[in-house]
Amino acid sequence: MNSSFALLLLRNLKSALAILVLSGLSTTSLAGVGEGQELYNAYCQICHGALGEGQTMGKPLTDGPANRLADQELIDVITDGRAGTGMVAWEGSLSEVEIFDIASYIRNLQGKPALILGGDDSGPSDDPNVIAGEMLFNGSAGCATCHSYDDQGGSVGPSLDGLGSRLSDDALTQALTNPSAPIVSGYGAKEVEQEDGTIVRGRYRNDSELAVQIQSEDGRRWVTYFKERVTAVRDSDESLMPDTFANLGASEQQQLLAFLKSL
């Protein structure tokens, strides 16, 4: 058998196997952001930095060019590498699902929703509770200020795409009623106590010996504080998520739950 033909056949078989593996998963399930973070920390951060800020050996993953990559382009770069650069191909070392999880975590670092396995052909829900819950989410409840879905919303809190398949009803209710109990990795809060006694809280973004960078609670600003100019910098055990759910009426709570389960 011609060697080139054999190589092409092998690659096609691998691609077919990858499709079968992915198709066996829930078509609306969220890629493993947690697994992607572990893989990123093990293989990628040495070149690209712990938060994708870039290092001497690797370019930033949160700058304009990286943000403009389409999902498939991002996966292809990780899979095939980039000729003429230090970016190697990970196809022979990592599985398709592992590469997908890393790409999903990189999207997370960019403040974007994680990648979704498969497509959603079901169309918008016609359930009145879901529709009312979405209006609450984007309106008076203010959830969209911090959380995103379908490429819209804020980045202070985790993306909620695929939430219904990731959390049980009990876990979802607990996350809403006790936000500080299950703080998602990478979304912890920092408190900066300034010299005048003012305390500023925000999502931790970056840290060094000289300064700490946090994202404001409304998500609109990334602010750098030089440690020698503040009184203290400390971790916060409290989530940035407000007690919005507890202040909703019973019917509104059910509507918001219905919407979140539909994601």
Q: Which residue ranges make up each domain of the chain?
A: 3-109, 128-182+242-262, 189-236
Place of tokens 């409290």: 238
Mean pLDDT of 66-94: 88
Q: What pLDDT, on a 0 to 100 scale, did the predictor assign at position 26?
A: 35
- Is the confidence at residue 54, as pLDDT, over 70? yes
Local confidence band at 99 (pLDDT 50, 70, 90 cut-offs): very high
Three-state SS for 80?
A: helix
Which one-letter amino acid corresponds to residue 233?
V
Q: What pLDDT, on a 0 to 100 scale, did the predictor assign at position 8?
A: 39
Q: What pLDDT, on a 0 to 100 scale, did the predictor assign at position 33?
A: 62
Mean pLDDT of 167-183: 79
Mean pLDDT of 225-253: 85
Q: What pLDDT, on a 0 to 100 scale, did the predictor assign at position 43?
A: 92
The highest-confidence range among 49-58, 110-119, 216-225, by mean pLDDT, is 49-58
What does CATH list as the number for 128-182+242-262? 1.10.760.10
Rounded Cα gap, residues 116 and 35, in angstroms? 14
Local confidence band at 27 (pLDDT 50, 70, 90 cut-offs): very low
pLDDT in tens, 197-227: 888 888 877 778 888 888 776 667 788 889 8
- Is the confidence at residue 63, as pLDDT, over 70? yes
pLDDT in tens, 3-16: 444 433 444 444 44
> The domain at 189-236 falls in which architecture?
Roll (2.30)
Local confidence band at 109 (pLDDT 50, 70, 90 cut-offs): confident
Q: What pLDDT, on a 0 to 100 scale, did the predictor assign at position 203?
A: 83
Pairing of strands 211-216, 222-226: antiparallel
Rounded Cα gap, residues 174 and 165, in angstroms? 16
Does this chain's domain 3-109 share its CATH topology with 128-182+242-262? yes
Q: What pLDDT, on a 0 to 100 scale, did the predictor assign at position 218?
A: 67
Residue ranges with strand state E in the chain: 148-149, 152-153, 189-194, 199-207, 211-216, 222-226, 230-236
Q: What pLDDT, on a 0 to 100 scale, did the predictor assign at position 80?
A: 92
- Is the confidence at residue 112, as pLDDT, over 60? yes
Decide yes or no: CATH 1.10.760.10 for domain 3-109: yes
Rounded Cα gap, residues 58 and 47, in angstroms? 5
